[in-house]
């Protein structure tokens, strides 16, 4: 069995992934903000673990 490794689309680092996935703009903003908050929480926890 051959694994498909062809790249078809690349999302820019500063792009809103949820918009690119087709979510309505308002919901995409909400999901993007929620994901950023979660990322920041995880970063903070990792910093605290390393102290």
pLDDT tens for each residue of 1-51? 899 999 888 888 888 899 989 999 999 999 999 999 999 999 999 999 988
Task: Tell me what pLDDT residue 10 has.
Answer: 83
Residue 11 CB contacts under 8 Å (≥ 6 apart), including other chains: 17, 20
CA distance linking residue 39 with residue 25, whole number of Å: 21
Residues making up the chain, counted from first to last:
51
CA distance linking residue 36 with residue 12, whole number of Å: 16
Task: Tell me what pLDDT residue 38 has.
Answer: 96
């Amino acid at each position: 069995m051959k694994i498909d490794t062809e790249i078809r689309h690349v999302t820019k680092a500063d792009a809103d992934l949820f918009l690119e996935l087709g979510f309505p703009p308002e919901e995409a903003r909400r999901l993007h903000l929620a994901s950023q908050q979660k990322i920041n929480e995880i970063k903070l926890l990792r910093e605290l673990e390393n102290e």
